[in-house]
A and B are shown apart, each in its own frame.
Chain A
Amino acid sequence: MLRAQKLTIKENTQLNENTFKLVLQGDVPQDLKPGQFAEVKVPGFSLGRPLSLNDFDQESVTFVYRIAGKGTKELTTLKEGELDVINGCGNGFTLKENEHVLVVGGGIGTAPLLPLIRALKENNCKVDVIFGFRERKETLFEEELKALGVGFWITYDSEGNNVVTKMLELGKEDLYFYACGPLPMMAALTNASKASGQCSLETRMGCGFGACMGCSLQLKERTARICKEGPVFAKEEIIWQNLK
């Protein structure tokens, strides 16, 4: 359920050069799902920053965010106190059961995939993971993937490799996939994969909860608000040019 709430900053620490982990504590909704996001208000900025749930439990939510501009930069300086948050935004991923699936992430787009992998494992899926980053120092979640005991591969653009070539090289293009990452990556993946899959999309948002139509996307057969009916859509529905 959507909730507009104040949450307390419990942790806001640096993971690598450009990336931070923010943990907020409080009376969070109890029905959060992997793939959902929150609108996090940074004091001094009018609009919330949409950040995906990287983890959640009964009393906290965790985000992993990259400094992308002024708002996320300012966010890194906040080490205590409360933040206004609209929690429980979006539809989240639709989870498969008892299947062999592929999870593909690029850059900061890997953040929402961690809780997804956990949930898929709980659903008795065999999960293979391919994460791609620009270069080694940007690597995220390697330890977490090891601990989860899933098969995983990490690619680096700087080393002439990417998630799509990796998928093909491994012969995993027939697996149902879940993807989040830069637009060109998801578009290329969708093309290269012979299977069906789900992609988590982004655009600039006004509200994050369906009121402003600022994020409405034309899909093949319908229009949908990325913040409400999305951000996760079936690959077959997406017209990639509409996001450029």
Chain B
Amino acid sequence: MAELKVNLSGLELKNPLIPASGTFGYGLDFLDFFDVNEVGSFAIKGTTLNPRYGNPLPRIAESPSGMLNAVGLQNPGVHEVVEKVLPELRKVYMGKVLANVSGFSVEEYRECARLLDQEELTGIIELNISCPNVHGGGMSFGTDPASAVEVLKAVKEVTTKPVYVKCTPQCPDLPEMCRKLEENGADGLVLLNTWLGTRLDLRTGKPILKNITGGVSGPGIFPLSLYRVYQIAPLVNIPIIGCGGVSSASDVIEMMSAGATAVELGTACLTDPLCVPRILEDLQTLLKDLGIDDINAIIGRAHK
């Protein structure tokens, strides 16, 4: 058995597989399928200060190799998450989570992050400045380095746990953004959130999503996200979590070879709720074939 343990800013994960925010709920919806303790960690649903319903239905469309979502950050708000949801999770889950924090103002990000930082379950704060499905917040912070840095600094002031920033591919100059985030105290990067897209109804010719646009995710975006990880990894000295279309053990190996220390699995969790145990099993076989006995050996090997 190859060693799968990886380390993210001092947080030890028993393997590099992290179900991505918004595709694993708060972990509880997967209990019927497998022991959620098998995951390396997971990112909770994007949490905001106040409860949000999100966008009107329909919120989901399909693409040939993935999906589009325009959920719009539906969540019960940080108070309910802290008081009701996380205590439930603690009964069944022994690991730590990435607490995914979203907001519409710097102040909201700060307060939400401060509250989640105090939770024992929180291993890492995942700062989501990349949600394409909300207006006047989310992604607008992720496209402009100055705004992103402002949010990051505000959050760093009130938190003690590592802060990872989840970036958007809609950012016009991602290398510049990532350098600025590192300079200003980001402990890690999550590359990337979804890509903005749409689908039209065949009969009416009108957008399927009520929100018109949605975030494209799934296997179709894998080469796009992979390239960004490959491009950014040599430019920064902080850990990267690769995210976008990862759905197999070989994708995990490619992402990590490009420079990621761990990977997030989003759409794969929705289309195959057993993807974590499946990929873990395949990963062992594949690493054996490749003659690798510690997965850390492949991190960033593309650049060596």
Q: Which residues of A contact B (CB under 8 A)?
A: 1-4, 41, 45-48, 69, 84, 86, 203-207, 209-218, 223, 228, 242-243
Inter-subunit contact B208/A211 (CB<8 Å): no
B102 vs chain A, min Cβ distance (A):
13
Q: Which of these, A4, A41, A48, A211, contacts B29 with CB under 8 Å? A: A211
Inter-subunit contact B32/A1 (CB<8 Å): yes
Inter-subunit contact B71/A213 (CB<8 Å): yes
8 sampled A-B residue pairs with Cβ under 8 A: A46-B66, A69-B202, A204-B58, A212-B22, A212-B71, A213-B71, A213-B74, A214-B71
Q: Tell me the bound Cα distance from A48 to B67 in angstroms.
A: 11
Q: Which of these, A47, A203, A243, contacts B67 with CB under 8 Å? A: A47
A-B complex: 4 closest residue pairs judged by Cβ atoms: A214-B60, A2-B32, A207-B270, A210-B29
* Known contacts A46-B67, A216-B71, then 8 further A-B pairs from the complex at CB < 8 Å, ordered by chain A residue: A4-B272, A46-B267, A205-B60, A210-B25, A211-B23, A211-B269, A212-B69, A214-B60
Inter-subunit contact A204/B273 (CB<8 Å): no
Q: Choose, from B49-57, B117-125, B137-145, B162-170, the stretch at the interface.
A: B49-57
B98 vs chain A, min Cβ distance (A):
16
B59, CB-defined interface residue at 8 Å = yes
Which residues of A sit under 8 angstroms from B61, Cβ to Cβ? 204
B274, CB-defined interface residue at 8 Å = yes
Q: Tell me the bound Cα distance from A216 to B58 in angstroms.
A: 9
Given A204-B59, A223-B53, A211–B67 Cβ distance below 8 Å?
Answer: no
The main secondary structure of chain B at its interface with chain A is loop
Q: Which of these, B69, B202, B218, B269, contacts A214 with CB under 8 Å? A: B69
Which residues of A sit under 8 angstroms from B22, Cβ to Cβ? 212-213
B269 vs chain A, min Cβ distance (A):
7
Inter-subunit contact B62/A214 (CB<8 Å): no
**From B214, which residue of chain A is reached at the shortest CB distance?**
A214
Binary A-proximity of B170-199 (CB < 8 A = 1, otherwise 0): 000000000000000000000000000000
Which residues of A sit under 8 angstroms from B66, Cβ to Cβ? 46
Q: Tell me the bound Cα distance from A216 to B16 in angstroms.
A: 31
Which residues of B sit under 8 angstroms from A211, Cβ to Cβ? 23-25, 29-30, 269-270, 273
Inter-subunit contact B208/A204 (CB<8 Å): yes
Q: Tell me the bound Cα distance from A100 to B267 in angstroms.
A: 45
Q: Which of these, B65, B74, B273, contacts A46 with CB under 8 Å? A: B65
**From B275, which residue of chain A is reached at the shortest CB distance?**
A4
Q: Tell me the bound Cα distance from A207 to B272 in angstroms.
A: 9
Inter-subunit contact B60/A215 (CB<8 Å): yes
Q: Which of A47, A212, A223 has the most CB of B within 10 A?
A: A212
B271, CB-defined interface residue at 8 Å = yes
Inter-subunit contact A4/B33 (CB<8 Å): yes
Inter-subunit contact B57/A46 (CB<8 Å): no
List B248-275 residues whose CB lies under 8 Å from chain A.
267, 269-274
